[in-house]
Structure 1
Amino acid sequence: MLKTSEEAAMAKKLTGPEREQALAGLADWRLLDDRDAIQRKYRFPDFKAAFGFMSAVAEIAEEMDHHPEWFNVYNRLDVTLTTHDAGGLTRLDIDLATRMDAAATEFGG
């Protein structure tokens, strides 16, 4: 399937000032040392809230066709974002992280 120019730009690996600016807007995310990815640990009031958040994010991820790596235990959710096709961090990851942060507030995270 052919990508639009906007989709192609979203999936292009971030470098230089564009990368620094994008990461500056994600206060609770950290850049991983061992790979070109970002990670955040979410905490929710209980399992139901964590699962509700995950369900909401699943809808967002499907809409974006960009899926997180995540690990859940009870009220904790650890999320890693990277764009495998690009070999690292892209605008897709930044946008998904931003949307996840917005959704987390709805679930007490």
Structure 2
Amino acid sequence: MPQPRLTDDQRRAALAELPQWTMAEGREALQRRFTFRNFNEAFGFMARAALTAEKMDHHPEWSNVYKTVDVVLATHDAGGLTELDLKLARAMDRIAATMGA
């Protein structure tokens, strides 16, 4: 059974808590660009984030070009944002912070 989608108030509170994340244009999803010093750090972030996401059984939409990683989070089976997305966003922020992003 899918997790419940966040209400408008919950989304606003989440964005206040996650200031580097924004709502994706045209959809109910969070997005953020992570910038690292080089490709090795960006790829290392993706590897660590992938392990975390797999443990959560929640997988981001993301892309990597050189030292940047663009991430979009939404719970597809719920049709929008859920607490699971916020949990993964927080985890990605913690991982990035340990890697100098």
Q: 1:31 aligns with which of 20, 23, 29?
A: 23
The number of aligned residues is 101
Q: Which protein has the larger Cα radius of gyration, Structure 1 or Structure 2?
A: 1
- What does residue 14 of structure 1 align with? 6
Report the residue type matching 1:90 in the other structure.
T
In the alignment, structure 1 residue 75 sits paired with structure 2 residue 75: no
For the aligned residue pairs, the C-alpha RMSD in angstroms reads 1.2
Corresponding residue of 1:90? 82
SS at match of 1:71: strand
Q: What is the TM-score with the length of structure 1 in the denominator? A: 0.87
Q: Which runs of 4+ in 1 moved over 4 A?
A: none
Specify every segment of 5 or more residues in structure 2 that has no aligned partner in the other structure, as ranges: none
2: distance between equivalents of 1:83 and 1:66?
8
Which residue identity lines up with residue 80 of structure 2 in the other structure? G
Distance in 1 (alpha carbons) for counterparts of 2:11 and 2:38? 34
Contact 1:23 1:94 in 2 (8 A): no
| 5+ long unaligned stretches in structure 1 | none
Greater mean deviation of Cα atoms: 81-90 or 21-30: 21-30
What percentage of aligned pairs have identical amino acids? 50
- 1:53 is matched with 45
Q: TM-score, normalised by structure 2?
A: 0.94
1:102, CA displacement in angstroms? Answer: 0.5
